[in-house]
Structure 1
């Protein structure tokens, strides 16, 4: 993990080095800068007004190199998603209005697209990029040579420098990175977490279907304990019970934290005994077995099929007394 931490220190060090240069630039009594240095000067003045050290470091990273003007249509989003919240969607957004009135004071950071010639990927500044797209303006950007590990660690630095990711956003970010083959030490560095907590994060995002997570959203008030509880209790039946709620207009109209509460409330409500529920079951880990479950009133049917069906059915049958005793004790 040492090399990953040194990467983080190197990327974060760019903040510190340029922050000092910009502070010195603010003290100089010079004529206004012309040409390409203009945006850098603008950025220096912006930093001079900032009081939060983390924000100052974030923006300082974006100085130091020549600012270029790019067509926003040539810039793609990062190859790994972290935030679940939507980017600005209309001209009424606060950031869009600010850029419309004051211009783009701070450039975004991009890299050359690793697969597509003459295109770029945004590393910092997704929201600024979207705001400029909505305004139909060119994008002030700095192009820096970064590899994939640099990008994910840089995204981690950006997230800690402004609003922290919610718990489920951290879980999705970790799961996405793991799915793309990044090693655990790299993900731990990007999220500033340890091995045990990282395993929990990945487990939560793996247990709850991604479309359900997206329907709920970042839910910043629903922390670690609530999301872990939801993940631990998740089954195929849970998904079936939530179908109506997740598809309702009322659910979609609520704030993200309220949507999480509605999901928890729905699952805590005793299901209607008269309702007929049918759903498929398959093991979370891959296996040679499938099940069809039907629950109606006072009857419950489990039908198993494919390779391990007979053996697993026999295994369950031999333990029915044990399982029923555990069920009664739990009640």
Structure 2
């Protein structure tokens, strides 16, 4: 394949894949819904990027070979999936057998002129590191805004981010101070859909999202439904499930289903324990203790109740430390 053909293939062949650039599982209502508007935005952005690529070809932009150890990861990750870790990985085997068919895109590292930073192609870079081969790359002069837009477009065109990966990407970009107008371009979406994406990633704790994974079969509607009504109690209720080996052994779509099933299940009613308390030595105090399994209440009465209650309050940290130390 010639240099020109490989460069042209970076974006031209992706236009055929754009029918799934913004996967959603809801049919449009009256007028264009968010996913439909997002599709139009994606197509428009790809036309711009294709024109930019043609200009790059005319200006003599070329593929170069770089030492993978001189290339650092992007300052923002857009996928929940891990990078290849061994030679058994499917992508590693493919590159070993067929070579690197598509160059990665890099920029000069903003903090080190002797190094580079990936714009997109993280998994290809890692695969070539494992194989001990040089990486074919295109070097462009890009600022941070250019990076996130190019990164988002490449992912939309080549291999769709799952809904929750889009949500996490959007949330991470906003957390780093990027304007929503920039994030909308990066994800080829509109203001309404972007608000929903960020809301999902902000509501569901990140450790829960990472435990579930990308869950590509769980689309927009299911993740939004999961986020609705999420509370601290929801997180606490899932702690045992998320920490189990059985959960970790499932694929991410199955893990999502298990989380939904656990939250739909009616929790077992805890036995209520309630009894009176009085000090062993005679005193001007008595109490009533009530335990329901997930809550514990002590009610103090009579003369010393207020003073003893204040004493307990002042020593709660010490008592809890002693409790934890005993465990």
TM-score, normalisation: structure 1: 0.67
Mapped contact 2:67–2:135 kept (Cα < 8 A): yes
Tell me: CA distance 1:98–1:194, structure 2 relative to 1, closer, same or farther (3 Å). Answer: same
Of 173, 177, 180 in structure 1, the residue corresponding to residue 173 of structure 2 is 177
- 1:44 deviates by 6.7
Mean Cα displacement is larger for which, 62-71 or 150-159? 62-71
Partner of 1:269: 265
Tell me: CA distance 1:93–1:209, structure 2 relative to 1, closer, same or farther (3 Å). Answer: same
1:215-266 deviation per Cα after TM superposition (whole angstroms, max 9, x unaligned): 1011111111221122122111111111111111111110101000101111
Mean Cα displacement is larger for which, 113-122 or 234-243? 113-122
Partner of 1:312: none
The CA distance in 2 between the partners of 1:80 and 1:93, in whole Å, is: 23
1:109 is paired with a residue of what secondary structure?
strand
Work out whether 1:225 is the aligned partner of 2:188: no
1:123-173 deviation per Cα after TM superposition (whole angstroms, max 9, x unaligned): 121111011011111111121100111111101210121122111111101
Partner of 1:157: 153
1:307-326 deviation per Cα after TM superposition (whole angstroms, max 9, x unaligned): xxxxxxxxxxxxxxxxxxxx
Tell me: CA distance 1:51–1:87, structure 2 relative to 1, closer, same or farther (3 Å). Answer: closer
Mapped contact 2:14–2:157 kept (Cα < 8 A): no
Mapped contact 1:87–1:127 kept (Cα < 8 A): yes
Tell me: CA distance 1:140–1:299, structure 2 relative to 1, closer, same or farther (3 Å). Answer: closer
The CA distance in 1 between the partners of 2:200 and 2:190, in whole Å, is: 16
Tell me: CA distance 1:189–1:166, structure 2 relative to 1, closer, same or farther (3 Å). Answer: same
The CA distance in 1 between the partners of 2:92 and 2:191, in whole Å, is: 39
Give unmatched runs, 5+ long, in structure 1.
Answer: 1-37, 277-293, 304-331
Partner of 2:121: 125
Please tell me the root mean square deviation across aligned C-alpha atoms, in Å: 3.1
The CA distance in 2 between the partners of 1:225 and 1:96, in whole Å, is: 34
Tell me: CA distance 1:152–1:87, structure 2 relative to 1, closer, same or farther (3 Å). Answer: same
The CA distance in 2 between the partners of 1:90 and 1:104, in whole Å, is: 17
Mapped contact 1:111–1:145 kept (Cα < 8 A): yes
The CA distance in 2 between the partners of 1:89 and 1:171, in whole Å, is: 25
Work out whether 1:215 is the aligned partner of 2:211: yes
Tell me: CA distance 1:302–1:155, structure 2 relative to 1, closer, same or farther (3 Å). Answer: farther
How many residues are aligned here? 248
Tell me: CA distance 1:137–1:302, structure 2 relative to 1, closer, same or farther (3 Å). Answer: farther
- 1:177 deviates by 0.6
Query: Greater CA radius of gyration, 1 or 2?
Result: 2
Mean Cα displacement is larger for which, 99-108 or 256-265? 99-108
Partner of 2:3: 40
Partner of 1:102: 98
Partner of 1:71: 67
- 1:52 deviates by 6.0
TM-score, normalisation: structure 2: 0.68
Mean Cα displacement is larger for which, 170-179 or 217-226? 217-226
Of 111, 114, 120 in structure 2, the residue corresponding to residue 115 of structure 1 is 111
Mean Cα displacement is larger for which, 264-273 or 167-176? 264-273
Mean Cα displacement is larger for which, 146-155 or 94-103? 94-103
Tell me: CA distance 1:99–1:196, structure 2 relative to 1, closer, same or farther (3 Å). Answer: same
Give unmatched runs, 5+ long, in structure 2.
Answer: 19-45, 273-289, 300-327
Mean Cα displacement is larger for which, 194-203 or 64-73? 64-73
Partner of 2:190: 194
2:105 is paired with a residue of what secondary structure?
strand
Mapped contact 1:39–1:67 kept (Cα < 8 A): no
The CA distance in 2 between the partners of 1:68 and 1:240, in whole Å, is: 51
Mapped contact 1:46–1:105 kept (Cα < 8 A): no
Q: Which one has more relative contact order, counting CA pairs under 8 Å at least 6 apart?
A: 2
